[in-house]
Chain A
Amino acid sequence: NAGVTQTPKFRVLKTGQSMTLLCAQDMNHEYMYWYRQDPGMGLRLIHYSVGEGTTAKGEVPDGYNVSRLKKQNFLLGLESAAPSQTSVYFCASRRDRVYEQYFGPGTRLTVT
């Protein structure tokens, strides 16, 4: 099993450009999460999903949209990137009624 994978690993965007980050998991997990990590800080929750076709806002959702069209994939979109969105993005997943979360390797995004 690959676990949780993220695509791409690195990306540089210019202000105003759009992009989509892909998170995929092969563990048949119901719950999926997107976090961001800024320098010198812990991770903060952006959006999450409790199952296919559902999404909900986390602590820092502004400027992001998400979709969960398939159970194994969770997409994070930036419609108009801003320098404040320069960060490392982590995806995680877990099983229903089992609270341990499994994290992907992260995507390092720079917005210039």
Chain B
Amino acid sequence: GIQVEQSPPDLILQEGANSTLRCNFSDSVNNLQWFHQNPWGQLINLFYIPSGTKQNGRLSATTVATERYSLLYISSSQTTDSGVYFCAVAPSGGGADGLTFGKGTHLIIQP
């Protein structure tokens, strides 16, 4: 099946810093989603981005489908950005496949 690798696995930053999270995947996809899981376990959908670039406030994401990677940018980090960020993909082919998740990047924003 499709493989998903996220880096870095852990990241500790000071409030106000910027960060870039990376997601590499092993095959062509028709779905790529970025999620934020907060410390209470809630899974928050950040972006649906199988290709191209999107922005939402301080967050933006870019997927280069031809090179099989996606980047999530967080600018001016706040303590509420802490948690685990997951990248999840579904392979192309038009099937009903569920998402394959990476192991996540654990982000800690210190005040």
**Given the complex of chains A and B, what is the CA–CA distance between A56 and B98 in angstroms?**
11
**Number of A residues contacting the other chain (C-beta, 8 Å)?**
25
Secondary structure type dominating chain B contacts: strand
A31 CA / B97 CA spacing, docked (Å) = 10
| Given A31-B96, A102-B45, A105-B42, A42-B101 contact (CB < 8 Å) | yes
Is B99 close to A, CB under 8 A? Answer: yes
A90, B96: Cβ atoms closer than 8 Å: no
Binary B-proximity of A44-87 (CB < 8 A = 1, otherwise 0)? 11001010000010110000000000000000000000000000
> Is there contact, CB below 8 Å, between B98 and A106?
no
Q: Which residues of B contact A48 (CB under 8 A)?
A: 96, 98
B41 and A88 contacting across the interface, CB-CB below 8 Å: yes
**CB of B3 to closest CB in A, whole Å:** 12
Residues of A whose CB lies within 8 Å of any CB of B are 31, 33, 35, 40-45, 48, 50, 56, 58-59, 88, 90, 92, 99-103, 105-106, 108
Q: In the A-B complex, list the 4 residue pairs whose CB atoms are closest, starting with the nearest.
A: A42-B101, A45-B98, A99-B31, A100-B48
